[in-house]
Structures are given as C-alpha cells and as structure tokens.
Structure 1
Amino acid sequence: MIEVLVVDDHTIFRSGLRRLLGDEADMRVREEAGSAADAMQLLRQASFDAVILDINLKGRSGLDLLKSLRREWPALPVLMVSMYPEEQFARAALDAGANGYVAKDAEPGDLLAAIRRVAQGGTWLSTGFAARAREMPGRPPASDQPLHFRLTVREMQIMMAIVAGKSLTEIGADLFLSVKTVSTYRSRILEKLQLGGNSELVRYAMQHSLLD
C-alpha cells in the first residue's frame, strides 16, 4: 500500500485526491496538510511512501518546502503538482529535488501512474516534456520563452491574484506578506513582463491563456 501525504492549500483539491486514490487498491491518502508547517509536523510524526506537493502554497512556496524536505528526508519520493504548465516550472522542481511534476489539469490516470512511478523510486514527466528535455538539456533561450516564464513561483502566484481582481491588501493577507512586499512583487512582475499596469496585465494573461 502506497501511503501518501497530500500538501495543498485548497481543501477541494485535497478531497478530490482522497476520493481518487480511495478507488485504488494499492494506494491511499494517509494524511493531508494545508501549509508547509503542517506538512513538516506530519512528516515528523509518521512515515509516508510519497508526498504530493503543490507548488503554490500560502506563506512558503512548495519549492521552498521541498528544500526543507530534502534536508531531513533526502530519499522521500515527492511529486510536485501545479496549475502551471510543465514548461515553466518542471525543470526548477526537478532541480530542487522533486521526483516528478504533474500539471493539475492532467488526466487522472497520468496522476495515478506518476504516484506509482515516484513511489517506486522513479521519475515522472509527461512524455512530451521528457522528449523536449532530452533534446534540450539546458534551459531554452529566454528569447524563445513567453515573458511570464521569467517569473518565479511567488511572482506568478501574485500575478494571477492581481488578474483575478484581488487588491494588494487581500493578496498580502492570503500569502502572509506585507502590502509593501506585495507592491514590490507587482512592480517586479510588470517590469519582467514589460507592462504598464494591471489592465495590461489582465490583457497579457488573456492573450497567453493563463485564465481559466
């Protein structure tokens, strides 16, 4: 039986994973955590065969948490999941020590296969991305990437919150950041994307299909 810890700050997503894995004979969600602190506490209290870790978490990002996991549990299989495409953050996740990366819009069968693969000590990437990674072992030139590929996980998170219409105060409360810090992130995002304000940011997100 593959005992899984799910780390994601969205209750609905965690519940969906619990139901999905509950239908499988060889795996189950043993525990859930909605934050990095809760995840670390659970990991110190029990053993798990795999961790499903969202790249977007309130407070510390999943990549930050992954670094802590690797210091204490270097061999623990970790599968990163994200609403963002593999092309943007999969390489960063693997470089940080993840065993695999799955987009949240992947087919359920792919997610189940990924869990089994990493729990057995393997690595998981989608077939298409793995092929591209073999052809291009280094990062692709920046000129070949959309500008939002320059954003960090936190910058992407804040960008999407702004596009969703949240105020800087609301974003700060959600991510446990000061309004000044969020404002600094906003300025950095606009600079990287070469945009002049929030309306252009929304237009950019629509042009690049970043909105649901």
Structure 2
Amino acid sequence: MPGGGRSSGAGHGGVMNSTVKVLIIDDHSLFRRGLARLLEAEPGFTVAGECGTVEAGLQMLRERPVDIVLLDFDLGLERAFEFQTRAREENIARPVLIVTAGLSQFDAAKAMELGARGIFVKHRSPDLLVEAIRRVVSGGEWLDPRYAPARLYREKAVRQRDPSEAPAFSIREKSVLRGVLEGLTNKEIAAELNVSEASVKAALQRLFQKTGVRTRGQLVRAALEQFPDVL
C-alpha cells in the first residue's frame, strides 16, 4: 500500500469512467466544507454528502449512491471504528479512506482490519488527496508512509495469531492498554477512567503477566503485533 505513484487500471464497475461520488464525514465543519468545495471543483468528482457524525454518515450511506467515504478518525466522542463496524453490519459499507490529522499505529492497524483502504494525513497536498481518492476508487490502496509499520503489524498478526491462544483481557485492562498505546501516563489514564492510579498500576501488572512482557514499550509492541483486535 504505497503512499506515492499512480494507480493503473480501471475502477470496479467502471467507476473511474464516470463521476466519483464522495461522502465526507468530519466533525470539523470548516475543514469538511472546504474539502467539499475543493472536490466539487475537481473534474470527475461530486460530493454526495457531508456531515460530522457517525449516525448522519450512515443515514446518507443508506439513502444515496456513494463510491468512497472520506472518514475522519476522531469524530468528537466517536471514532471511525464505529462507522466502519456499523456500515459492515448493515451491509452498506463502501471503500473508506481515513483522512486524519494523525492516529496511533495501533489505531491505523485496527482501521485497516475493519476495511479501510487507506490512510491519508490532512497536511498533505490537495492534489495528493485527489490521487489517493482515485487510487482507492480504482480498487487500489493508499497508505501514508508514516503508517507503514501499522500494515506490517497487522499482516504479521494475521499470519501468526492463533485466536484460541489470545489472553482474555478484562474491560479495565483493555481500557488501560488503550491508554498505554495512546502514550498516556498512569496518572492520565487514571483521570480518564475515573479510577485511582493504584488501580491502573494493578491492571498494568496484570497486562504484563498476560502478555509475557516487562516494560510499557514491550507491551505496546506485543499489542500491535499479537493482539491488534483485542480492544
């Protein structure tokens, strides 16, 4: 899934020979509307809809023909995962290109596991975004170079993981693990979960035992390589 170069070949169902219908889901209205104007001015594109929430995006997907979804990762209190999961459950999923200011390698791997066809970073040029959209609609993939490790983690996990051997994590342990993956300190995790710092430390020790590691860095690597679908 390279982040450069041009795609070759026609799109599925001849999409690239007709107007590409784009759905934009981003909770920042200025960015969303600016992107909509940019794409409307681009030959061969039309904006099928734009909104800022998972529910509104799903409703548009149910009602309108869409060729690709440009999906922000952080949608206020929601995340891209929720949209991806619900769209698949309703059998209305379309190719998704995550357009984000940034996300962790773990979250990038998870988004790809849920079917994202690419990850595009917002500070890249508009021309590059148009190229990324065309590639995804043509059946290809687009991954910003900084997220190459996420793809490797995911592919390695798929090859090596035996689901029956995955340790069972409690809800608290999963929450603490996500905090560690996001780079939070024990104190910050405790504040976010509204629990004591001692409770976080205890959960962290259980995570070390279950994954067979001794440090936070080793825990992050184990989570990305061995248990990307645990959370």
How much identity, in percent, do the aligned residues show? 32
> Out of 165, 169, 182, which is 1:151 matched to?
182
> CA offsets, 1:100-156, max 9 Å, x none?
1111112212211111111122211124644884599437xxxxxxx977029xx8x
Residue aligning to 2:28:
10
Given that 1:9 and 1:35 are in contact with CA atoms closer than 8 Å, whether structure 2 keeps it comes out as yes
Instruction: Say what the alpha-carbon RMSD is for the aligned residues.
Output: 3.4
**Closer, same or farther in 2 for the Cα pair 1:124/1:149, shift >3 Å?**
farther
| Residues 159-174 of structure 1: pairs in structure 2 closer than 5 A | none
State how far apart, in whole Å, the 1-side matches of 2:118 and 2:124 are. Answer: 13
Higher Cα Rg, which structure:
2
Structure number with greater CO (CA < 8 Å, separation at least 6) is 2
User: How much does 1:73 deviate?
Assistant: 3.6
Larger CA deviation: 6-15 vs 126-135: 126-135
Taking structure 1 as reference, are residues 129 and 183 closer, same or farther at Cα in structure 2, changes over 3 Å only? closer
Which position in structure 1 is the counterpart of 2:52?
A: 34
Structure 2 match to 1:92 = 110
When residues 104 and 44 of structure 1 are mapped into structure 2, their CA distance, relative to the original with a 3 A threshold, is same
Asked if residue 126 in structure 1 is aligned to residue 144 in structure 2, the reply is yes
Q: TM-score, normalised by structure 1?
A: 0.62
Question: What's the counterpart of residue 63 of structure 1?
Answer: 81
Distance 1:71 1:185, change over 3 A: farther
Match of 1:25 among 36, 39, 43: 43
Partner SS state of residue 3, structure 1? strand
Correspondence for 1:184: 193
Provide closer, same or farther for how the CA distance between residues 121 and 17 of structure 1 changes in structure 2, counting only shifts above 3 A: same
Where does the alignment leave 5 or more consecutive residues of structure 2 unmatched? 1-18, 158-177, 205-231
Partners in 1 of 2:48 and 2:154 — Cα distance?
38
With 97-106 and 2-11 compared, the bigger mean Cα shift is at 97-106
For residue 94 of structure 2, what is the aligned residue in structure 1? 76
Gaps of 5+ in 1: 140-146, 160-180, 195-212
Does structure 2 conserve the Cα–Cα contact (< 8 Å) formed by 1:82 and 1:103? yes
Distance in structure 1 (CA, Å) of the matches to 2:192 and 2:180: 20
Q: Structure 2-normalised TM-score?
A: 0.57
